[in-house]
């Protein structure tokens, strides 16, 4: 029975199906992680269900910052961001990283196969960015399913955009490339990945729920922050603006063009991101190093912003906004 579930704790991904069965909503509820994302109308099935059955105003505590356009859809809820993901603190003890020695262009780590992540690895392969020594792919793909995802998310431009994905590379689609991922154990995973991170010019961060229309910030980009690396994220529309505005981390505007980040269509956004990165792919190690030095002040700022805990102060300032 749904009512047998205790209410005095955080509800996260393993509870999402159960939350959709609730017919009584408590006055205070804490919802963790990405909630499965938001559609193009800025609605979420879990919040829709809870809002429908709420008899009075409900305090909804999250570990993500929702924009006003989302909050407007749920007038019975009073949102706050006081629930802060413990995973954000999981790298705080990592204080010594290997020296940077750029030998490869790009690294990208892909765990669970959400739709956006499936498209991401196939685009990486098509652009010849996927290096199995620096990129992981912990799942297999099938060409029909992948093609279906491209069609679903490409805003009626399927025939054009499918050219930029490795749809016919059966060997790649069936392969699994892993670096010993221990899910949620970031304190261990950083040591598995530190040499890869510091040997690559840029870390392409593969975010959660990439086909959602509302930014969700996980801990994944912090792997580059704590190793003093460059990163760019395939996330939801406005991800980079969101992380600067609400968490205080600075983008690398001297070398990266972030126009892709405002594109709503997840397939077009991905292809524009790949196109932006392509101009760096054939540079020499010395040239990568020179570009890295152009952003050294921002790299150091982000490093100290994390370890000082100042990002928490930035977030605290907008918890109830």
24-69 pLDDT per residue, tens:
999 999 998 889 999 999 999 999 999 999 999 999 998 888 999 9
The total number of structural domains that make up the chain: 2
> What pLDDT, in 10s, does the model give residues 114-130?
999 999 999 999 999 99
Lowest mean pLDDT among 30-44, 226-240, 272-286: 30-44
Does 9 share its domain with 157?
A: no
Does 209 share its domain with 292?
A: yes
Does 205 share its domain with 123?
A: yes
Does 24 share its domain with 100?
A: no
Domain final residue pick, 61, 83, 105: 83
Mean pLDDT, range 150-175, rounded to an integer: 94
Closest CA to 88 of 223, 197, 193: 223
**Residue 2 predicted with pLDDT over 80:** no
Closest CA to 222 of 110, 121, 305: 305
- Mention every residue, 6+ apart, whose C-beta is less than 8 A from residue 170: 143
Does 45 share its domain with 141?
A: no
Which is more confidently placed, 4 or 277?
277
What does the pLDDT read at residue 313? Answer: 80
Confidence at 86, pLDDT banded by 50, 70, 90: low
**Residue 184 predicted with pLDDT over 80:** no
What does the pLDDT read at residue 321? Answer: 42
Does 11 share its domain with 53?
A: yes
**Residue 242 predicted with pLDDT over 70:** yes
**Residue 263 predicted with pLDDT over 50:** yes
Does 132 share its domain with 279?
A: yes
Instruction: State how far the Cα of 79 lies from the Cα of 81, in Å rounded to an integer.
Output: 7
The mean of the pLDDT values for the chain is 91
Confidence at 155, pLDDT banded by 50, 70, 90: confident
Instruction: State how far the Cα of 146 lies from the Cα of 135, in Å rounded to an integer.
Output: 19
Q: For helices 296-307 and 285-294, give the axis angle rounded to 10 degrees.
A: 60
What does the pLDDT read at residue 156? Answer: 83
Confidence at 85, pLDDT banded by 50, 70, 90: low
**Residue 7 predicted with pLDDT over 50:** no
Confidence at 1, pLDDT banded by 50, 70, 90: very low
Closest CA to 136 of 190, 180, 184, 200: 180
* H helix runs in the chain, sequence order: 16-19, 45-53, 68-71, 115-126, 143-153, 158-161, 170-174, 186-199, 222-226, 239-247, 266-278, 285-294, 296-307, 310-316
Mean pLDDT, range 306-318, rounded to an integer: 80
Asked if residues 274 and 164 have their Cβ atoms less than 8 Å apart, the reply is yes
The answer as to whether 321 is a domain residue is no
Residue ranges making up the domain that contains 56: 2-83
Does 213 share its domain with 118?
A: yes
Domain final residue pick, 83, 104, 129: 83
Which is more confidently placed, 113 or 122?
122
What does the pLDDT read at residue 102? Answer: 97
**Residue 203 predicted with pLDDT over 60:** yes
Mean pLDDT, range 10-20, rounded to an integer: 88
Domain final residue pick, 83, 118, 145: 83
Helix (H) or strand (E) holding 200: strand 200-206
CA 32 to chain centre: 15
Asked if residues 154 and 194 have their Cβ atoms less than 8 Å apart, the reply is no
Confidence at 266, pLDDT banded by 50, 70, 90: very high
Does 186 share its domain with 74?
A: no
Closest CA to 20 of 40, 9, 36, 8: 36
b/e map 254-275, b = 16+ CB within 10 Å: eebebebbebebbbbbbbbbbe
**Residue 84 predicted with pLDDT over 90:** no
List strands edge to edge, sheet with 77-80: 10-11, 28-31, 58-62, 77-80
Neighbours of 302 (CB within 10 A): 26
For residue 300, how many C-alpha atoms fall within 13 Å in the half-sphere facing its CB? Answer: 5
Does 148 share its domain with 21?
A: no
Most confident of 4-18, 166-180, 185-199: 166-180
Phi/psi of residue 220, each to 5°? -60, -40
**Residue 81 predicted with pLDDT over 90:** no
Rg of the Cα atoms in the chain = 20
- 288, exposed or middle or buried, with CB in 10 Å at 0-12, 13-18, 19+? buried
What angle (nearest 5°) sits at the alpha carbon of residue 250, between those of residues 247 and 252?
150
């Amino acid at each position: 029975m749904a009512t047998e579930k205790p209410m005095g704790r955080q509800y996260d991904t393993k509870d999402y199906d159960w939350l959709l069965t609730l017919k009584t909503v408590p006055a205070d509820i804490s919802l963790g992680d990405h909630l499965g994302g938001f559609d193009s109308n800025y609605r979420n099935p879990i919040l829709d269900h809870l809002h429908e059955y709420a008899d009075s105003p409900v305090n909804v505590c999250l570990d993500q910052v929702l924009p006003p356009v989302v909050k407007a859809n749920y007038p019975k809820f009073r949102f706050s961001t006081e629930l802060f993901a413990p995973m954000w603190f999981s790298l705080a003890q990592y204080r010594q990283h290997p020296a940077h020695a750029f030998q490869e262009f790009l690294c990208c780590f892909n765990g669970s196969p959400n739709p956006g992540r499936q498209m991401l690895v196939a685009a990486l392969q098509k652009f010849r960015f996927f290096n199995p020594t620096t990129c992981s792919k912990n799942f297999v793909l099938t060409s029909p399913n992948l093609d279906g995802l491209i069609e679903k998310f490409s805003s009626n431009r399927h025939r054009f955009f499918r050219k930029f994905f490795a749809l016919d590379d059966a060997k790649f689609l069936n392969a699994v490339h892993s670096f010993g991922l221990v899910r949620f154990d970031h304190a261990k995973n950083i040591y598995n990945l530190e040499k890869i991170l510091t040997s690559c010019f840029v870390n392409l961060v593969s975010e959660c729920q990439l086909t959602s229309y509302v930014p969700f910030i996980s801990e994944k980009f912090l792997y580059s922050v704590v190793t003093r690396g460059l990163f760019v994220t395939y996330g939801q529309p406005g991800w980079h603006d969101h992380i600067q505005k609400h968490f205080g981390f600075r983008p690398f505007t001297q070398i990266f063009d972030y126009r892709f980040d405002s594109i709503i269509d997840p397939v077009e956004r991905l292809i524009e991101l790949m196109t932006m990165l392509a101009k760096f792919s054939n540079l020499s190690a010395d040239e990568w190093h020179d570009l890295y030095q152009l952003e050294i002040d921002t790299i150091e700022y982000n490093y100290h912003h994390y370890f000082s805990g100042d990002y928490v102060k930035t977030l605290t300032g907008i918890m109830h906004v």
